[in-house]
Amino acid sequence: MGPRPALRPYLLVLPALLLTCGILYPFGLGLFYTLFDFSASRPRPGLVGFGNYRTMLGEGAFWNSAWVTVLYAVGAAAAETVLGVSVALLLHRSSRIGRVLEKILILPLMIAPVIAAIMWKLMLQPSVGVVNHLLRPVGLGGVQWTDTPAGALLSSIAVDVWVYTPFVAILALAGLRSLPASPFEAAAVDGAGWWYTFRRLTLPMLWPYVLVAVIFRFMDSLKVFDIIYALTEGGPGDSTMVLQIRAYLEAIRFQRYSFGISYTIVLWAVVYLAAMVLVRHLGRVQRKAAEAR
Amino acid sequence: MREPERDVREREREAGRGAGRDGRGPGRDGRGARRVAGWLADAALVGYFVFALFPIAWMLVLSLKPADQLFSTYFSFTPTLGSYRTVLGGGEGIPFLRFFVNSLVVSVGAVALSLLVGLPAAYASARWRFKGSENLMFTLLSFRFAPELTVIIPLFVLYQRLGLFDTYVGMIWVLQLVTLPLVVWIMRSYFADLTPELEQAALLDGYSRTQAFFRVALPLVKPGVAAVSLLAFIFAWNNFVFPLILTSNEAQTVTVGALSFLGGDRPKYNLTAAAALVSVVPPLLLALTIQRYLVRGLSFGAVKS
């Protein structure tokens, strides 16, 4: 050990700490701004206390955004979990095809979500898009994918699913490959069926891995921005107006800085609370899984 | 201690064993039914991958279509590289090539800065238990889950005052929100996997702490550093909301630039597709090189493989 062993770790984390403060500062500043009516038209803002929050919580637009955000996050996380775990199970069988496909599983995940949304936007265009062209033989050539409220929300979720299913699949596959062999051997000896083995053995033992993926996906979808910005920009109407898009429109487009930041502060609080609950749950699940081994 | 690197063949052998242990391997009873189930499973898998790969393939098709055949046909056309020439040659008044260089500069810059401050912090928090260490770590992790706009909107106001709006420095700074938590958390898990005895042996041999870090610890986690750098680069490159709000033209990146081709009264499908493909090539190529480190990387060290 060196001359000042007690001091060394602090010196090592100091640069990271300074950088962290540099990021916490604008966050604190934003929190401070929400107490004023700061906007481009009011460069000398006045103190309004919690007025921004009161206005926001009294608006139907806010509750609509909150509802759409929850629908989006739950829908996307659920669909990605089911599809991702299914893909992982299929890859875990390790057929010849599976081994080849596994190597390219990652591709959609590494494409910027905004680019993915652009790609799907071109494909989902109702009259000249390729998706409707391919659906025409089965009589579904005229679907207005992003031009109806329900269609727009489902299409955005579909793009999210396209990008992030590999994320769940990769983590679930890693989990499947690290499961101990003996319970499965015992089940096979006892002649247990596929469904029974899956429900009683695979899924419970795999769950801690899947849960890590679900938590990441749920929290990320709560703050979705890129996909919806490129695909629908919140429309039609307010049908895909998730909280971050609304915050963007208020703060950047309408330049009502204080009001826009209030939206993100509320979202931040929700994400933070969700994170605490989910991470605590994850801890319990992981402990239980460790005891079961 | 877990090996960060694993022989691919070993992994495959293990995967094969996994299939056998599920009781679905060959050579058991009900061979015919099993074979059919196997085909169905393969078909489902192929179905998923068609869904996953078709958009990429279709962008290639669109980008090779000449403008006058964009909508007249779907699959038969005379391929041309004209769209790529237009996009990279600054067509439509969009300096896409410069955006590409900008993406490169800010992503490399962000990763370099994150490594510079993140590696010592990761090492310290893996090696010593000290006051405030966990708090710092969790604050960093919470950046990963904070809504980006919470920080960006105040920064938008701040940057315009400080002259950092639309600059490389401003972008590299704000991208730390993405890259720093990744570097610190993943490298921390790599350092924690190293037994301290190696460095202690080096200290007994008369190395200083600094030398022990650079000559013993760092070389051993080099694959981890390489993987995390590439992953952080990909995430920085793919970021959209920071350049959307904090740049306008000088420091704009490809993710925002690609969107501009959709603007105008008539979206240029072939140009948009070409721009989209050009912007996804670097992350896709890099991702394929770090396949086996992805699990730990994507889960912030929570899941090891």
What confidence score (pLDDT) does residue B229 get?
A: 93
**Tokens 């979990």, residue?**
A81
**Nearest Cα residue in chain A from B114:** A16
* d(CA A293, nearest CA chain B) in Å: 17
Q: What helix, strand, coil percent values describe chain B, rounded to 5?
A: 75, 0, 25
For residue range B135-166, list pLDDT tens digits in order.
888 888 888 788 889 899 999 989 988 999 99
> What is the C-alpha to C-alpha distance for residues B171 and B150, in angstroms, rounded to an integer?
16
What confidence score (pLDDT) does residue B12 get?
A: 42
Interface of B with A in 207-236 (CB under 8 A): 208-209, 234
Compute the Cα dihedral for A9, A10, A15, A17 and give only its sign: positive
What confidence score (pLDDT) does residue A2 get?
A: 47
In a domain, B290, yes or no: yes
Q: Is residue B30 predicted with pLDDT exceeding 80?
A: no
pLDDT band at B197 (very low <50, low <70, confident <90, very high): confident
User: Which of the following CATH numbers is that of domain A59-292: 3.90.1150.10, 3.40.50.1370, 1.10.3720.10, 2.60.120.1130?
Assistant: 1.10.3720.10
Task: Note the ipTM here.
Answer: 0.87
Q: Is residue B121 predicted with pLDDT exceeding 60?
A: yes
Q: Which of A212-216, A262-266, B22-26, B54-58 has the lowest mean pLDDT?
A: B22-26
Tokens in use for A178?
Answer: 């690290």
* d(CA A253, nearest CA chain B) in Å: 10
Among A190, A174, A171, smallest CA distance to A182 is for A190
Q: Is residue A31 predicted with pLDDT exceeding 50?
A: yes
For residue range A147-173, list pLDDT tens digits in order.
899 999 999 999 999 999 999 999 999
pTM (two decimals) = 0.87
The fraction of chain A above a pLDDT of 90, given in percent, is 44
Mean pLDDT value of segment A62-66: 95
**Nearest Cα residue in chain B from A165:** B52
What confidence score (pLDDT) does residue A196 get?
A: 87
pLDDT band at B44 (very low <50, low <70, confident <90, very high): very high
CA separation, residue A116 to residues A13, A110, A164, B54, B178 (Å): 37, 10, 11, 12, 19
Interface of A with B in 54-83 (CB under 8 A): 83
In a domain, B105, yes or no: yes
**Tokens 């659906």, residue?**
A135
Assess contact for A164 and A76: CB atoms under 8 A: yes
Q: Is residue A237 predicted with pLDDT exceeding 80?
A: yes
- Give A159 or B125, the one with higher predicted confidence: A159
pLDDT band at B305 (very low <50, low <70, confident <90, very high): low
Q: Is A257 on the interface with B (CB under 8 A)?
A: yes
The CATH number of whichever domain residue B209 belongs to comes to 1.10.3720.10
Provide, as residue numbers in chain B, all residues whose Cβ is less than 8 Å from the Cβ of A233.
none
pLDDT band at A48 (very low <50, low <70, confident <90, very high): confident
pLDDT band at A5 (very low <50, low <70, confident <90, very high): low
- CB-nearest to A122 from B52, B117, B269 is B269
Q: Is A37 on the interface with B (CB under 8 A)?
A: no
Give burial (CB, 10 Å; 0-12/13-18/19+) of B33: exposed
Domain boundaries, chain A: 59-292
Q: Is residue A188 predicted with pLDDT exceeding 80?
A: yes
Give burial (CB, 10 Å; 0-12/13-18/19+) of A223: buried
What confidence score (pLDDT) does residue B137 get?
A: 80
Assess contact for B294 and A171: CB atoms under 8 A: no
What confidence score (pLDDT) does residue B11 get?
A: 45
In a domain, B229, yes or no: yes
Q: Do B259 and A87 touch (CB under 8 A)?
A: no
In a domain, B26, yes or no: no
- CB-nearest to A103 from B14, B291, B302 is B291
Q: Is residue B302 predicted with pLDDT exceeding 80?
A: no
Contacts of residue B157, Cβ cutoff 8 Å, sequence gap at least 6? A33, A38, A257
Mean pLDDT value of segment B45-62: 93
User: Mean pLDDT for chain A?
Assistant: 88
Q: Is residue A62 predicted with pLDDT exceeding 50?
A: yes
The b-or-e profile of B256-274 (16+ CB within 10 A means b, else e) is bbbbbbbeeeeebbbbbbb
By residue range, what is the domain housing residue B177?
Answer: 92-298
Split into its structural domains, chain B has a count of: 1
**Nearest Cα residue in chain A from B73:** A128
Q: Is A178 on the interface with B (CB under 8 A)?
A: yes
Mean pLDDT value of segment B52-66: 91
Q: Where are the beta strands (DSSP E) in B103-254?
A: none
User: Mean pLDDT for chain B?
Assistant: 84
Question: What is the DSSP code (8-state) at residue A39?
Answer: B
Q: Is B258 on the interface with A (CB under 8 A)?
A: yes
Assess contact for A10 and B130: CB atoms under 8 A: yes
Q: Which of B21, B22, B134 is the best residue to mutate to test the A interface, defined by the most A CB atoms within 10 Å of its own CB? A: B22
- CB-nearest to B21 from A91, A184, A264 is A184
Provide, as residue numbers in chain A, all residues whose Cβ is less than 8 Å from the Cβ of B203.
1
What confidence score (pLDDT) does residue B288 get?
A: 85
What confidence score (pLDDT) does residue B21 get?
A: 43
* d(CA B22, nearest CA chain A) in Å: 6
- Give B99 or B70, the one with higher predicted confidence: B99
Q: Do B18 and A115 touch (CB under 8 A)?
A: no
* d(CA B195, nearest CA chain A) in Å: 16
Phi, psi of B66 (to 5 degrees): -70, 150
Interface of B with A in 79-108 (CB under 8 A): none
Q: Do A271 and B147 touch (CB under 8 A)?
A: yes
* d(CA A53, nearest CA chain B) in Å: 15
* d(CA A207, nearest CA chain B) in Å: 12
In a domain, B34, yes or no: no
Q: Do B23 and A133 touch (CB under 8 A)?
A: no
In a domain, B24, yes or no: no
Mean pLDDT value of segment A261-283: 89
Q: Is residue B122 predicted with pLDDT exceeding 50?
A: yes
In a domain, B74, yes or no: no
Assess contact for A188 and B25: CB atoms under 8 A: no
Q: Is A84 on the interface with B (CB under 8 A)?
A: no
For residue range B254-281, list pLDDT tens digits in order.
999 999 888 766 778 889 999 999 999 9
> What is the C-alpha to C-alpha distance for residues A290 and A208, in angstroms, rounded to an integer?
10
What confidence score (pLDDT) does residue A134 get?
A: 86
Q: Is residue B15 predicted with pLDDT exceeding 50?
A: no
